Amino acid sequence: MPFDRTDYPSSLKNLNEATRLKAIEIMNAMLDEGYDEDEAIPIATEQAKEWYANANGQERQEMRDKSAKELKKHDDHNSRPELMDKGVKVFKQKDEWAVKTKTAKRPSDLYNKKDDAIERGKEIAKNKETYLEVYDQDGNVQDKFDYSN
C-alpha cells in the first residue's frame, strides 16, 4: 500500500515535513521494487535524513510542495532508479539464501530454503520486468528466468 501525507508509518511523525515526505517517496519506490515494508521503512528513513542534510533550501521547499499524487507516482519518482533495470539474483550467503538486486548494497531478503528465495526473486524480477539469476552454492549460475517484455 503506498504511503502519502496523511497515511504513513508512525516512526516518521517526528521528522520535519521535508524529510518525512522524502522518506514517503523513497518507501513507495522501494515497495514498488519489491521490498517488504519492514525493510523499506528504516532504509527510507536513513536515506531521507541523508538527503535532507545534503539538500539546499529550494530542494527542501520543492519536496514540501509535492502533492499526494506526486508522492504516489512511484515509477517517476524512484529513489534508486538505477536499480529498476537491474536483474535480481539468488545466492548463498553464509548459511542463508539471499535475494538481491544486482549492484544493490545488501540483500532485500534472506531465507533458510533456496526455493523460498527463488520464489521471492521471481516476484521481484516480475515486478521490475527484468530477470532472475539463481546461483548454486559454489557461485555458478544455475538458472536464469527472463521477465522482460
Q: Which three cell numbers stand for residue 86?
A: 537491474
Are 133 and 73 within one domain?
no
CA angle at residue 78 from 102 to 101, to 5 degrees? 10
Name the nearest CA neighbour of 12 among 25, 34, 72. Answer: 25
Are 17 and 37 within one domain?
yes
Residue 57 belongs to domain spanning: 10-79
Residue-wise pLDDT tens digits, 27-48: 988 887 778 888 899 999 999 9
Residue 5 lies in a domain: no
Are 59 and 90 within one domain?
no
Residue-wise pLDDT tens digits, 118-132: 999 998 888 888 999
Are 104 and 74 within one domain?
no
Residue 115 lies in a domain: yes
Q: Three-state DSSP class for 68?
A: helix
Are 21 and 59 within one domain?
yes
52 and 18 Cβ atoms separated by less than 8 Å: yes
pLDDT of 67 above 70: no
Are 35 and 74 within one domain?
yes
> What are the φ and ψ backbone dihedral angles of 92, each rounded to 5 degrees?
-80, 125
Between CA 109 and CA 82 the distance in angstroms is 19
88 and 99 Cβ atoms separated by less than 8 Å: yes
Residue 3 lies in a domain: no
Q: Which three cell numbers stand for residue 36?
A: 517488504
Residue 65 lies in a domain: yes
Average pLDDT over residues 81-85: 57
At residue 78, the pLDDT reads 42
Alpha helices (runs of H) in the chain, residue ranges in sequence order: 17-33, 37-54, 57-65, 68-72, 114-128
The residue among 79, 101, 120 that closes a domain is: 79
Number of compact structural domains in the chain: 2
Are 94 and 123 within one domain?
yes
Helix axes 114-128, 17-33, angle to 10 degrees: 110
Residue-wise pLDDT tens digits, 90-120: 999 989 999 998 877 788 888 999 999 999 9
Are 56 and 26 within one domain?
yes
pTM of the model: 0.48
